[in-house]
Amino acid sequence: MKASELKELREKTREELDQELNELKAELFKLRFQHATSQLENPMKLKECKKNIARVKTIIREIELGIKRN
């Protein structure tokens, strides 16, 4: 995830972040299914998707705690 994409995530509202999180979880499910059926061409996509989920969860937690980041 590029710095510009991360900045865009930080500007989103809580509802938008929840929606983004749901989309990423659905994507991870699809990637895992492809991996299990040996149809996944790039296994690094699994790792990238997991990291993006963690990033979104971190931003949501920062919002809950009221932490401001630039």
pLDDT class for 70, splitting at 50, 70, 90?
low
Could you tell me the residue range of the domain that residue 33 belongs to?
Answer: 3-65
* Residue that wins the pLDDT comparison between 4 and 46: 46
Is residue 7, in this structure, part of any structural domain at all? yes
pLDDT of residue 26: 98
Look up the pTM and report it: 0.89
CA 66 to mean position of chain CA atoms: 20
pLDDT of 21 strictly over 90:
yes
CA 22 to mean position of chain CA atoms: 9
Mean pLDDT of the chain: 92
The domain tally of the chain equals 1
CATH label of the domain that carries residue 36: 1.10.287.310
* Residue that wins the pLDDT comparison between 70 and 45: 45
pLDDT of 5 strictly over 80:
yes
